Amino acid sequence: MPRSGLGLDVAGVVDEVGPGVHDIPIGTPVAALHFPHAPHAAAGTAAEYVIVPAGDAAPVPDGVELLDAATVPLNALTAAQLLALLGPAQGRRLLVTGAAGGVGGYAVALGAHAGWSVTGLARVTDSSFLTRAGAAESITSLDRATGFDAVLDTALLQKAALRPVRDHGAYVGVFPGLEPESERGITVASAVVVPDGDLLQDMLNLTAQGVLEPRRAGTVPLAEAADAYRAFRSGGHRGRWVLTR
């Protein structure tokens, strides 16, 4: 019978390691992306103890709080893996829709860090965040947007997000099967995030260096998890809700 639980991101201190694991000693603070529906998993990360493959975990660098590290895996890995589909930056223009959201915020920062000229589509109240993340420009509407080499569509605008892309440019979406049909020679792609301990280590290192900004909407005890889920459903929050023991 399939088993699953709630939660995909996890950060904590290693309490036990399995046979053959030598590079992550007991007592190491780590973070990981955990898929509750994977064959090895019995529950999600909303738990006191979580078992993850050693290859999916990454040590948390000095200077990054565990509570902040817990906000990084899912969104940062998703953004990084989607950006990789667009090829080298080389100063090209990138539009990120939903640029102040979980995945979008990381896409802006990682894109700018990689050398893209990034424009973020978001609310005017998010312009300060986008500037800190490295966006060259922030916009609140697609009405006058044009000439982008690529778009990373985290807001699921789909066909509307194709319009600002130049002929033979690129579109990347966040949900396979929901992509718009290609037009004007635009390459259309999407992908599902996969755990990757090495890439996550890069994301955590960039967090320690200040390139990526950890965003925590709130922190609540595990016993009061329902409050966090209710707050999440109410919308309007920026960042991840973190459950603690």
The total number of structural domains in the chain stands at 2
pLDDT at site 2: 43
**pTM attached to this predicted model:** 0.92
1 within some domain: no
Per-residue pLDDT tens digits for 105-131: 999 999 999 999 999 999 999 999 999
| Residues spanned by the domain of 150 | 86-190
What tokens appear for 27 in the block? 């007592």
Q: Burial level of 61, CB count in 10 A (0-12/13-18/19+)? A: middle
Residues 180 and 211 in one domain: no
Helix, coil or strand: residue 159: helix
d(CA 199, CA 104): 18
State which residues of the chain have pLDDT below 50.
1-3
Residues 56 and 91 in one domain: no
Residues 90 and 184 in one domain: yes
